[in-house]
Amino acid sequence: MWADSDDYERALERAREHTRKWLEALPERIVRPSATADEVKQRFGGPLPETGLDAAAVVDFLAENAEPGLMAMQSGRFFGWVIGGTVPAAMAADWLVSAWDQNSGLCFASPSTAGIEEAAGEWLLELLNLPPGSDVGFATGASMANFTALAAARWRQLANAGWDVNADGLQGAPKVRVLAGAERHDSLDMALRFLGLGAPELVPADGQGRIDPTALRSTLESGPQDAPAIVCLQAGNLHSGAFDPFPAAISAARDYGAWVHVDGAFGLWAAAVPGLRHLTEGVELADSWGTDAHKTLNVPYDAGIVAVRDAAALRSGIGMHAVYLMQDDHGPADPMEKVPELSRRARGVPVWAALRSLGSDGVRQLVAGRADCAAELGHRLAGVPGVEGLNDVVFTQLSLAFGSDERTRAVTDYVMAATRTLPARARAVGAPRAARPVSVRRGCSQPTTSGRGRRRARVFPRTTAHFPLRGRGSTAGPLRCPSRPRH
Ligand SMILES: Cc1ncc(COP(=O)(O)O)c(C=O)c1O
């Protein structure tokens, strides 16, 4: 059935109007949603009506009824987790991707999206200072980027040990040792679980969450020397923003023949900024990297990025082939050989659009601006009584405590309820009005003293929170990024 083109016209016009209203409201909108998921379900659920509804009316219903349950994550006043906004070109490109509706698994079927993703991949390797010629794939997020890279690692390390994991699976295979810093991100454990590799052996980390390279070496030394091994490092700790000491850690891993993977979900982007590049020094010596564009680069969800030096390992470990799927012998590799999906959305297209609209200079300013703002925020709050900075602010992360859990909750509530916006900051870092220029993070944006949040709050175990740049009754002025970025 082919819908009348007027239906598209009207539905898209309504979507455009609702999008405009949403973006316009962000600076003043209360960050926190006012409806629960249950309440939203009541509005959207019930028996599926027998008769259909006009497309434009569906869009109106969606936008109007979803709005109360949306969190203003793109707002300059949203400080939870590590979540990005959206640069205009990427948002518009994302619409185009839906309109094109390409099944983007094969070059043969969709040369444009495959070619655009290939071009974006080359730009990313250059920006992030990763080895040229590495394979780049566009997964759903950093978790799946890590999963994809680790599938390549598993394939290669077992192949080197004489075992074909594709043919024989893991049962009876040589045991693959996986080592990770004690302060790795939880999603890494998830990826390892999916791969049947179990929980990693944990290597002690310092107070900022950086792996101890001497302990890494002795842990490697203490196990079977000939076991296939994978070492997982981190560029950017969620709580502190700290980076693992790559040269020493990678050197230890190499001495034991380990594959080195780096989870650089948001931190790998430090490599794009000359003044921050010391943080990622040596990261290019690893074998694989997972990051994403939906955090630091401000591309709409979802946009994970995996890069693997050993293309054969990636394509063998993750790719698929079928006689009915025509593959070119020349030109770029098919996207389906580089990420876990066969049918897939062309996620790399909005990434290309963001990169092209910002240029390398714009990316540098965006990343540097966020780090500058975090540093400035930390500096300004250092003198405020009752506010305790818990981390060394090296990148975009700032963890704070406000004396007691109760007070921290009150501060968080205040920030969440505030309606004042900080467009000047956003402009100062070259970000669009809707993009967040600074991250102030902990594992959970809601203070947690019990349950899952607490279990994982290892580096900074007390309740911490995100706070107003200027509270009512406070004497501090609004935060401005340094007019001349330090980086
Ligand atoms: C260091 C790190 N790794 C992995 C992830 C998971 O990323 P995603 O949510 O894109 O899967 C995060 C998320 O914040 C992270 O901070």
Where residue 420 falls among pLDDT bands split at 50, 70, 90? low
Residue closest by Cα to atom 14 of ligand 1: 82
Nearest atom (ligand 1) to Cα of 141: 10
Question: How high is the pLDDT of residue 225?
Answer: 84
Residue closest by Cα to atom 7 of ligand 1: 142
Contact criterion met (CB below 8 Å) for 313 and 152: yes
Our answer on whether the CB atom of 266 is closer than 6 Å to any ligand 1 atom is yes
Question: Which of these, 314, 342, 324, lies nearest to 106 by C-alpha position?
Answer: 342
Rounded mean pLDDT, 123-143: 98
| 34-87 pLDDT tens trace | 999 999 999 999 999 999 999 999 999 999 999 999 999 988 888 888 898 999
Give the tokens for residue 417.
């309820």
| 245-270 pLDDT tens trace | 999 999 999 999 999 999 999 999 99
Question: How high is the pLDDT of residue 76?
Answer: 81
Our answer on whether the CB atom of 350 is closer than 6 Å to any ligand 1 atom is no
Question: How high is the pLDDT of residue 433?
Answer: 27
Rounded mean pLDDT, 155-170: 98
From the number of C-beta atoms within 10 Å of its C-beta (0-12, 13-18, 19+), residue 287 rates as: buried
Task: Report which of residues 330 and 186 the model is more confident about.
Answer: 186
User: DSSP string spanning 369-431?
Assistant: HHHHHHHHHHHHHHTSTT-EE-S--SSS---EE-SSHHHHHHHHHHHHH-----HHHHHHTT-
| 263-294 pLDDT tens trace | 999 999 999 999 999 999 999 999 999 999 99
pLDDT at residue 30 greater than cutoff 90: no
State in Å: Cα 236 to ligand 1 middle: 10
State in Å: Cα 74 to ligand 1 middle: 17
Q: What share of the chain is helix, strand, coil (3-state, %, to 5)?
A: 45, 10, 45
Task: Report which of residues 147 and 377 the model is more confident about.
Answer: 147
Question: How high is the pLDDT of residue 3?
Answer: 65
| 81-113 pLDDT tens trace | 889 899 999 999 999 999 999 999 999 999 999
Where residue 486 falls among pLDDT bands split at 50, 70, 90? low
Considering the chain, what percentage of its residues have pLDDT values greater than 90?
Answer: 73
Contact criterion met (CB below 8 Å) for 440 and 467: yes
Question: How high is the pLDDT of residue 193?
Answer: 98
The set of residues, in sequence order, having a beta carbon less than 8 Å from that of 446 and lying 6+ positions away, is 80, 412, 453
Give the three-state DSSP class for 177.
strand
Give the tokens for residue 266.
């948001």
The whole-model pTM stands at 0.88
Domains of the chain, earliest start first = 13-20+30-41+51-71 (no CATH), 94-352 (3.40.640.10)
Question: How high is the pLDDT of residue 476?
Answer: 31
| 424-473 pLDDT tens trace | 333 323 232 222 333 333 322 222 222 333 333 344 433 344 333 322 22
State in Å: Cα 238 to ligand 1 middle: 8
The Cα–Cα gap between 141 and 263 comes to: 11
Nearest atom (ligand 1) to Cα of 292: 10
pLDDT at residue 217 greater than cutoff 60: yes
Our answer on whether the CB atom of 263 is closer than 6 Å to any ligand 1 atom is yes
Residue that has been written with the tokens 């024989």 in this structure: 168
State in Å: Cα 267 to ligand 1 middle: 10
State in Å: Cα 82 to ligand 1 middle: 8
